[in-house]
Amino acid sequence: MRGFSKRAENIQPTGVRKMFDMAGDDVISFGLGEPDFQPPQVAIDAMYKAMNDGHNKYTTTAGLPELRNRIAETWKSLCPGLDESNVCMTMSGTNALLNIFATLVNPGDNVLLPEPYFPLYGPDVGLWGGEPKFYECLFENEFVPTIEHLESLVDDKTVAILFNFPSNPTGATITTEQRDALLEFAQRHDIWIITDEVYDRIVFDNEHVSFVGCDDQRVILINSFSKTYAMTGWRIGYILSANKDAMAQMIKVQYYITACSNDAMQYAVLTAINEADDYPDTMCAEFKARRDLICSRLNAMPGVECHVPEGAFYVFPRVDVPGMTSQEVAMELLRGGVLCSPGSAFGPSGEGHLRFAYTISRDDISLGMDKTEQVLKRLRGD
Ligand SMILES: Cc1ncc(COP(=O)(O)O)c(C=O)c1O
């Protein structure tokens, strides 16, 4: 038998998945990043209706023009010239990422990626022969990179920088001043900006700060309906850019990745945008209450310190248990009935942290925090 590609063999399962697979049913799970809500009922009904109406076929590669136009409209306040030609439907943000790297990266190129990171970024760049170069988003700097640090990494093989605000795993967001400094860095080095804004509708205290509309030729947006409408299992998202050449290339590549997105589902998403636009705000209000609860509990525990995240549904506290790695602490917590992710699963600077996804009820958060406190007290000897 012939073997497997180095590409496949080099890819490892993510640390988040490993913990999840080890957990029993009775644990309180702060593990996976998916909203514990149903998609809006109007969207479910619209999908059923669309299937009954015969929308069970291939669509054009970029997707339904009506939906793409509607999505373009939602970004027009930032970037007025957008229309359907600036949007390509994908089968999730995950699919969008793979497509964008396939389109921008040649073997030997490198891409600047955040660290701690959403674990798919590095392997995705590697699949196309590119080198991931990680820039640190440190606790000390509220998880936002410094320009000085980025300058130390960029070189003539750098083709793109990826930003992810609000961030998975840190929940960090940026101010417009920080966004402008990051934009200026990319412009100075003439590299693409890939902006993963899949949490743009889960932002708590301020308006979402986007890269869309900043530099029409340079910015490529990834977005997804997974988090916005609690549709993680549906697998639908999109790429948006004002750069028509970039869109043409990515739409061409999309054909080879999945041909097109799901026909009936695109009608359902259109209905969600048209008829349930306030749905993400309702979810967001609940996430905010949970964020406040979990942060106040964590910050009251000895050895634990966390920033109050401004977006997404993760908190990434620093957890000090002398002599133990974050993986060991997470394993002890799992034995104590709490599933969370070790910070090291998101890269080396995540060591010393844990990630809690607050995608469970407030009662479960309280119970999970009681257990976390007990385990940490025992481990630290407090
Ligand atoms: C930062 C970030 N980007 C992209 C994705 C991909 O989301 P999906 O593939 O469900 O659209 C996720 C999912 O957790 C994420 O956290």
Does 17 have pLDDT greater than 90? no
User: Is residue 358 helix, strand or coil?
Assistant: coil
For residue 264, give Cα distances in angstroms to 52, 111, 338, 369: 9, 35, 38, 41
Nearest CA to ligand 1 atom 16: 168
Residue pair 312/358 in contact by the 8 Å Cβ criterion? no
The three-point CA angle 261-265-266 to 5° equals 70
Residue 8: the pLDDT is: 87
Distance 224 CA to ligand 1 centre (A): 7
Residue type, 51: M
Q: Is 74 in the pocket of ligand 1 (CB under 6 A)?
A: no
In whole angstroms, give the CA distance from residue 348 to residue 331: 18
Asked if the bond preceding 348 is cis, omega within 30° of 0, the reply is: no
Distance 181 CA to ligand 1 centre (A): 25
Nearest CA to ligand 1 atom 7: 93
Distance 93 CA to ligand 1 centre (A): 5
**90, 98, 227: which to mutate for ligand 1, most atoms within 8 A of CB?**
227
Mean pLDDT of the chain: 96
Residue 184: the pLDDT is: 97
> What pLDDT, in 10s, does the model give residues 44-73?
999 999 999 999 999 999 999 999 999 999
Q: Is 197 in the pocket of ligand 1 (CB under 6 A)?
A: no
Q: What is the pTM of this model?
A: 0.96
Alpha helices in 197-325 (DSSP H): 225-228, 244-258, 263-275, 279-299
Residue 167's pLDDT band, with cuts at 50, 70 and 90, is very high
What's the CATH code, domain 55-275? 3.40.640.10
The CATH 3.40.640.10 domain(s) of the chain lie at 55-275
Residue 231: the pLDDT is: 97
Distance 120 CA to ligand 1 centre (A): 9
> What pLDDT, in 10s, does the model give residues 230-279?
999 999 999 999 999 999 999 999 999 999 999 999 999 999 999 999 99
Nearest CA to ligand 1 atom 5: 93
Distance 80 CA to ligand 1 centre (A): 26
Residue 142's pLDDT band, with cuts at 50, 70 and 90, is very high
The CATH 3.90.1150.10 domain(s) of the chain lie at 6-39+279-380
Nearest CA to ligand 1 atom 14: 33
Q: Is 237 in the pocket of ligand 1 (CB under 6 A)?
A: yes
Distance 51 CA to ligand 1 centre (A): 26
Query: What is the fold of 6-39+279-380?
Result: Aspartate Aminotransferase, domain 1 (3.90.1150)
Residue 330's pLDDT band, with cuts at 50, 70 and 90, is very high
Cα dihedral 38, 39, 42, 47 sign: negative
Longest dimension (CA), the chain: 64
Phi, psi of 219, deg, nearest 5: -95, 130
Residue pair 64/266 in contact by the 8 Å Cβ criterion? yes
In whole angstroms, give the CA distance from residue 339 to residue 330: 7
